[in-house]
Amino acid sequence: MIRRIPTAIGTQLGPSIQLAGAALLVAVVAATTLALLTARRKRWIRGLSSGLELIGVSIPTFWAAILLLTVFSFQLGWFPAVGDDSGSSLVLPVIAVAIPITTMLTQMTRESLELTLEEPFVLTARSRGMSDLGVRLRHALRHALVPAVTLLGWVIGLMVGSMVAVEQIFSRQGIGQLTLTAVTGKDLPVVMGVVLVTALLYVVVNILIDLLYLVIDPRLRSAA
């Protein structure tokens, strides 16, 4: 019985990593883009963005998944309702998982970017004739990303919980589905195995995040 646990977890780990990786990539790209577009803009633009972020972070992941499934699968028929046998079947689960992550990262990145845009080195870059977009991309964004990267460590833990509901709603294979089945069947060895694997992945991700600091902010290399 014990020997089947690594096989069971290994089989289900791939789909979960695929879902989590795609959702994280979508969230980071979307949050960075939205932060660049809304930081230090007109008040109504920032207000609209803040309102949407509040809605996005307040919506439970399972409710967002059911809403996406109802609209884009049952009503419009654009994406399959269940399964994980094609790329199109990954779209709705990725969006459901990415929504709360995107809203939190957008808020954090925008606030950090607005503070960075007031720094003296930004004013120096503007005085040299650099465009606003160039200043944001080449100078301000790198510094503004540090707090958002810090938030990613906590976000990974949030994703583990949300994937349980998403995998169940969309009938996808994965660690969340395996965990729910094991808990329902009172299969304690599998539950413990999933907890250990999840904890290991969490530690690895946070180590990678610490290394990412050195890439984003070169000043930390000399300090290290």
Query: In this predicted model, what pLDDT tens digit does every residue of 80-95 receive, in sequence order?
Result: 777 666 677 788 888 8
Mean pLDDT of 30-34: 85
Mean pLDDT of 160-183: 77
Tell me the domain boundaries of the chain.
Answer: 4-223
Query: In this predicted model, what pLDDT tens digit does every residue of 130-156 receive, in sequence order?
Result: 776 777 767 677 777 777 777 777 777
Tell me the C-alpha to C-alpha distance, in Å, between residue 79 and each of 9, 75, 82, 88, 172: 28, 10, 9, 6, 14
Nearest partner of 104 among 72, 58, 68, 160, judged by Cα: 58
Query: In this predicted model, what pLDDT tens digit does every residue of 46-69 receive, in sequence order?
Result: 777 777 777 777 788 888 888 888
pLDDT band at 114 (very low <50, low <70, confident <90, very high): confident
pLDDT band at 1 (very low <50, low <70, confident <90, very high): very low
Q: Is the pTM of this model over 0.95?
A: no
Mean pLDDT of 90-110: 85
Tell me the C-alpha to C-alpha distance, in Å, between residue 126 and each of 34, 115, 139, 186: 22, 16, 10, 62
φ/ψ (deg, to 5) at 83? 95, 170
Nearest partner of 100 among 45, 147, 155, judged by Cα: 155
**CATH superfamily membership of 4-223:** MetI-like (1.10.3720.10)
